[in-house]
Structure 1
Amino acid sequence: MESLGDLLKQMPGGGSALRQADKLMAELLADPLVEKLRSKYPELNDAIIRLNMNKIYQCTKEYRNCSNCPGLDNCPNDFEGHYTELSCETTGMLVQLNDRKVPCKRLLARQAENRIRSRVRSFYVDEKALSRGFSADEIIDKDLERVGAVGQIISYINETKEHGLQPEGLYLTGSFGTGKTFLMCYMLHELAKAGYTGAIVYMPEFVEDLKSLMHEQGKLKETVDMMKETDLLIFDDIGAENLNPWVRDHVLGAILNYRMNRKPTFYTSNYGLDAIEQHFSFTNKDGDELHKGQRIMDRIRPYVQAVHVTGHNKRGRK
């Protein structure tokens, strides 16, 4: 954005710069924004305004830019996402006009959203689902059949905001494409705004990657420790993964054993709690191991509220 000095240089007739300055001074004095500034600070006489023409011109120019904002990425102001704010300070007979850069609402909103995103980690789940903000009414309107499930999740969010982390998580079960992952992402986003950290893990791909992490012990420990410590942990589409005993007993079991009675864990699945126990009881390597499936379920079933998500399949729909 051009400064007042640049504007004066562009005017024809370099020898008449003083007259041009007088003209700009007159325009500033007639500007409603300057009139508003003077009504707030009556001590701003013409002499002080002339002395601070550059600051005042900058302020009025940026105010109008903001009034016709083209978006944060196309901000025309000198300091992106900021505008000039003026204040007047009087000490004895000395009147001083001060200027400072103030972040605009759009920048503050983006910074707040970035802080929210920094609290949530996603493993193999579309991050767009985590960043999109929806109201409760919008979520219900998307599918009235799942109003009961939405009500349970909103109650859980409100309870956590009011009383802190709950001892139990949620176990969302239902048919394909009913929005279980979406509802968990909504919960994560809402609670991240309240300051909680979280992670959502798509189990089928995570389990496959764990096999390669067996040979990277440092990275494996870092991943497992993060899942142990994050405030809210979601295992998405559990039951769809190809389990092996090591993943079940030494990774998933270790994470759940640490989190129970400490922090809530959440699940989405096409299987109910009884069916998921059968899934945990069988691995391709060792076949049926009912006691090991029960051991995992002892770390899941007592620590979740079951939520049945009904509705139509939304995948592939716009």
Structure 2
Amino acid sequence: MESLGELLKSWPGGRSLSEEAERKLKELMRDPLVIKLREKYPDVDEDAIRLNLNRVYQYVSEYRNCTNCPGLDLCPNDYEGHYTLLSSETMNGYTQLIDRKVSCKKFLARQNEEVIRSRIRSFYVDDAALRRGYSSDEILTNDIERAKAVGQVLRYIDRTREQGLGYEGLYLAGRFGTGKTFLMCYLLQELAKAGHSGVIVYMPDFVEDLKALMHEPVKLKETVELMKSTDLLIFDDIGAENLNPWVRDHVLGAILNYRMERKPTFYTSNYDLEALERHFSFTSKDGDELHKGQRIMDRIRPYVETVLVTGENKRGRK
């Protein structure tokens, strides 16, 4: 933003700088914002305004900029997302105007969004799904067929806000494209606003990467520890992965064993719980292992509320 000194220097010749400064002073004295400032601080007379002309000019100019805000990215003020506030202090008979920078609502909102976003980690899930915002009313009316499922998710969010984090999660089962992942991203965002951390993992890609991480034990341990410790963990599209015994028993089993009576785990799947157990009971390497499928389900089934997500396939819909 142009300072008062720069503004005065830019005036065409014929008048002295002092004349232009006096003219600017008279203009500022008539400004409603300055009149309001003087009503709040009666000691601020014309001499005080004259002595602090640059501060007062900046105060008025930045207020006007904020009134006609072009958006945070185009903020014309000296400090993006901040404006000047003035207060008065009288010492030894002299009135001094004190300026300070204050964050605007848009800047505070962006900061809050960044804090919320920092609480959420995604593995192989499109970040756009996490950033996309919908109101609870909108997701309720988006597809009336899935209203019951949406109601269960909203009740879970409200209950967690009121009672704190429990260890029961949600298991969202339904056909392709009914919005299961979106509902879980919505839950993550809403509970991140309440201060909870979260991780969402797209299982098919995650399992493939785990096979490579077998040879990077430090990175593997960091990944597993993150999933153990996060407040909210979502396994997205579980059952669609190409499973092997090591992933099932030593990675997924270890994560679920740690979380099952500590923190909630959430799932989206095209399978119901019985079909998921059959999926976990068979691997391409060892064939049928019913007891191992049952063992992993013992760490899932008792710790989730099942949510059946019905409705039309929204993928590719415009």
Q: TM-score range by the shorter chain?
A: over 0.9
> 2-side partners of 1:303 and 1:180: how far apart?
18
Equivalence map 1:66-215=2 (5 Å): 66-91=66-91, 93-215=93-215
Describe how 1:1-318 pairs up with structure 2 within 5 A: 1-13=1-13, 16-91=16-91, 93-318=93-318
Deviation at 1:233? 0.1
Residue 14 of structure 1 and its aligned partner are, at CA, apart by 7.3
1:90 shift after superposition: 2.6
Letter in 2 for 1:145: E
- Structure 1 residue 15: Cα displacement: 6.1
1:96, distance to aligned residue in structure 2 (A): 1.6
SS in structure 1 at match of 2:42: coil
Q: Secondary structure at the match of 1:96?
A: strand
In structure 1, what is the Cα distance between the partners aligned to 2:59 and 2:9?
20
Which 4+ residue blocks in structure 1 deviate beyond 3 angstroms?
none
How far apart, CA to CA, are the structure 2 residues paired with 1:188 and 1:14?
65
Which one-letter code corresponds to 1:85 in the other structure?
L
In percent, how many aligned pairs have the same letter?
Answer: 71
Q: Structure 2, unaligned stretches of length 5 or more?
A: none
- Aligned pair count reads 318
**Structure 2 letter corresponding to 1:129:** A
Per the alignment, in what secondary structure is the counterpart of residue 171 of structure 1?
Answer: strand
Post-superposition offset of 1:167: 2.0
Separation of aligned partners in 2, 1:94 and 1:132: 54
Give the CA deviation at 1:173.
0.3
Q: Quote the offset at 1:161 in angstroms.
A: 0.7
Shift of 1:31: 0.9
Separation in structure 1 between the aligned mates of residue 63 and residue 14 of structure 2, nearest angstrom: 29
TM-aligned CA deviation for residue 92 of structure 1: 5.2
SS of the residue corresponding to residue 261 of structure 2 reads coil
d(CA) in 1 for partners of 2:160 and 2:52? Answer: 52
Tell me the TM-score normalized by structure 1: 0.98
SS of residue matched to 2:306: strand
Distance 1:196 1:33 in 2: 42
Supply the distance in 2 between the matched residues of 1:132 and 1:31 (Cα, whole angstroms). Answer: 42
In structure 2, C-alpha distance between the alignment counterparts of 1:271 and 1:170, rounded to whole Å: 14
CA distance in 2, matches of 1:281, 1:307: 23
Please provide the CA RMSD for this pair: 1.0
Listed one character per residue, the Cα deviations across residues 104-128 of structure 1 (whole Å, up to 9, x for unaligned) are 1111000000000000000011111
More displaced stretch, 30-39 vs 249-258: 30-39
Instruction: Give the Cα–Cα distance (whole angstroms) in 2 for the partners of residues 261 and 189 of structure 1.
Output: 23
Deviations 1:236-276 (A, max 9, x none): 00000000000000000000000010000000000000000
